[in-house]
Amino acid sequence: MPDESSKDAPVSDELSEDAGGGDELSSSGRGRPGAEFSAERFQDNYRRVAEIGEGRRWYDLPYRVVSWLLSSRMRSVIRPQKLRERLAYLSTYLAVFNDHERNKKWDLDDPLHNVRIPPQEHVYVPGVWVVELFPPSQFASLEQAIRKSDWDRRRRWINDDRDNRRYLELSRSGKGWSWWRLAEIAQKGSKIWFPDATREDLPEAFESVQLKAVQIGAGLTAVVAFFRLTDTAAHRLDRVWHEKHEPRLVLGKGLPRAEDRQWASFRLTQKARRALHDAARGWMAERCPGYFASYSEPQPLLDLLLMNESDPAKGERVDPELADALRAIGFTGDLLHITSSDLPGILLSPVDGQLCRTLEGKRTWGLWGNRKVIAAIPGYLEGRGDDVDRAIAHFTDGRIRSFSVLLAISGFLEIAESEYAKLRDSARARHHTFKANRLNYLRRSLLTLSLDLTSVARDVQDFWKRNWRDAHDIEFVVDRAPWINQEDQALGRERVEPIIMNNELRERQQKWFDKLIEADRDYRDLLSTVAALGASADTYKISRVALWAAIASLAIAVVTLLLAEVKDQNVLSAVLLWLARVLEAR
């Protein structure tokens, strides 16, 4: 077999965490019908490239040398365990290049190592939504964002002379609107027009950003940003999805990883989708930072993905070969079915962080649907122009706002729970010496967390108890996929009742709030005890210092008295003279 070098292979320098997921399974198709493992095909593909160490490739000689050093005959020479571990690491490192060379020679027809994208299938991403929360501790940040921007500059187009700060002041005092338009920002040079829009340099993927402030109770303001993508950016995911991805070496911390065509397709396609998410989250963190940005946590995000042929909302079992293609763009939800009658034809699907490692699965959701099916549903296109994709995005934007805030509240609770856990776990190391600065740190942390937690808990509870329903308050229902229910019915199994997701969120959040408030109460009691003990310790230390200061003062007074002059001689001389006379008299 002719020798080949891997040095001309496509190499990616992303960190390994950005390309994770390849080591838990060698192929997503194993164990599923339609993509059966063939031992004969595997052996044929494996033999196309010689085993490492059997040729004259650049890595064969070093591998043979390392293998010889690790052999049993050299054990008495190479004794240090750390050295042997380093040699074993080098051996594994070199083997990756052999795997990469084999991946390049693998059969293009093997469904376990390749992803086939149906040529007639396409995906379009017209919009992305990002949510940021502003509890009491972040109110100043929202005020500063409004003050630094010129979002109010063209509010003269609105029949209201109140600016954003006035709207914010009224809403947080319980006298304002439940929501209002915070800003509409258009990309400089774009043809898009809004009545009161300002123009600035947005990230190149976005044509415009619409910010809406949503008031929950009196103390919690949420800002929902709708990023409308340019036509080029909206098609970017589809273009990467349809590209022919060759095997790659992924470099980063630790060992490089050899990706076959399937895993390269998964990572690079998901990376293209995540790039849109990162741009939206990054802009939000820079221009309107709030609770999530203050903890360097990803804000809750939803994006809209419109398919050309397949219909995820229909709930049919996904064809095995199409399953890999959909997984490449981040869809793995053909078991659970989350839908809303207020958004017909659209399926809500969370990003699975285990199956889609390149995507930021934390607080990331996708809204999936078929463009043709949705366009035929009454209400979507009425009065929204001829652009079907943008009309669907505009309709979705008018419905998803309140629900996205409810998802964000769960994210708020996740962070609060994590922060309380950090305070608990670091309390012994941080506060055992009763130092004032450490006590102040604990007090500031608990003050911020307590203030936010109690305020948001009260506001969310009032929100759930409302006896009226806003047009934007939509409900999602969680059910098993229709194809599973059909199978259950055919086999005579009892059907699992669907769950209203809003009710599930309400119950879960209420229990979450109760648990955290109880923990907060315990921590505050402990803080009071620590403060009292610290005060006692400080009082004891101060009393000891005062005693020694008194002793020192007494000593100084005695010395001063002895050195004082009385009738041409000091007291000390007089005392010594008197002692001398007494001794002579004896």
Q: What does the CA dihedral 103, 109, 111, 112 come to, rounded to 10 degrees?
A: -30
10-22 average pLDDT score: 44
Paired sense of beta strands 346-350 and 565-566, if any? unpaired
Quickly state the pLDDT bin for 94 (edges 50, 70, 90).
very high
How does pLDDT run across 516-551, given as a tens digit for each residue? 888 877 776 666 655 555 555 556 566 677 777 778
Q: At what angle do helices 436-464 and 501-563 cross, to 10 degrees?
A: 160
Phi-psi region of 463 (alpha: psi -120 to 50; beta: other; left: phi over 0): alpha
Q: How confident is the model at residue 420 (pLDDT cuts 50, 70, 90)?
A: confident
When mean pLDDT is compared across 15-19, 120-124, 155-159, 321-325, the lowest value belongs to: 15-19
**What is the enclosing helix (H) or strand (E) of 537?**
helix 501-563
**What's the rounded mean pLDDT across residues 392-416?**
93
Confidence of residue 111 (pLDDT cuts 50, 70, 90): confident
User: Which is more confidently placed, 268 or 545?
Assistant: 268
Tokens of 477: 């229902």
pLDDT in tens, 190-215: 877 777 778 889 999 999 999 999 99
SS3 185: strand
Three-state secondary structure call for residue 378: coil
pLDDT digits (tens, 9 = 90+) for 100-109: 999 999 988 8
CA distance 41 to 27: 15
Q: 437 pLDDT band (50/70/90 cuts)?
A: low
Nearest partner of 513 among 446, 453, 424, judged by Cα: 453
Task: Catalogue the E-assigned strands of 171-276.
Answer: 179-187, 198-200, 206-216, 220-229, 248-250, 257-259
Taking 80 as the threshold, does the pLDDT of residue 159 lie above it? no
Mean pLDDT for 336-347 is 93
* Beta bridge pairs of residue 27: none
* DSSP symbol at 17: G
Residue 444 predicted with pLDDT over 70: no
Around Cβ 115, how many Cβ atoms within 10 Å?
Answer: 24
pLDDT at residue 435 greater than cutoff 70 = no
Provide the 3-class DSSP secondary structure of residue 304: strand
**pLDDT over 50 at 16, yes or no:** no
* Residues 228-251: tens digit of each pLDDT: 999 999 999 999 999 999 999 998
Share of the chain above pLDDT 90, in %: 45
> Of 185, 280, 226, whose CA–CA distance to 400 is shortest?
226
Q: What is the mean pLDDT of residues 396-407?
A: 92
pLDDT on residue 546: 75
**pLDDT tens string 169-194:** 888 877 778 888 898 898 988 877 77
Mean pLDDT of 565-582: 68
pTM exceeds cut of 0.85 = no
Residues sharing a CB contact under 8 Å with residue 17, sequence separation 6 or more, in sequence order: 252, 253
Average pLDDT, rounded, for the chain: 83
Q: Which helix (H) or strand (E) holds 528?
A: helix 501-563
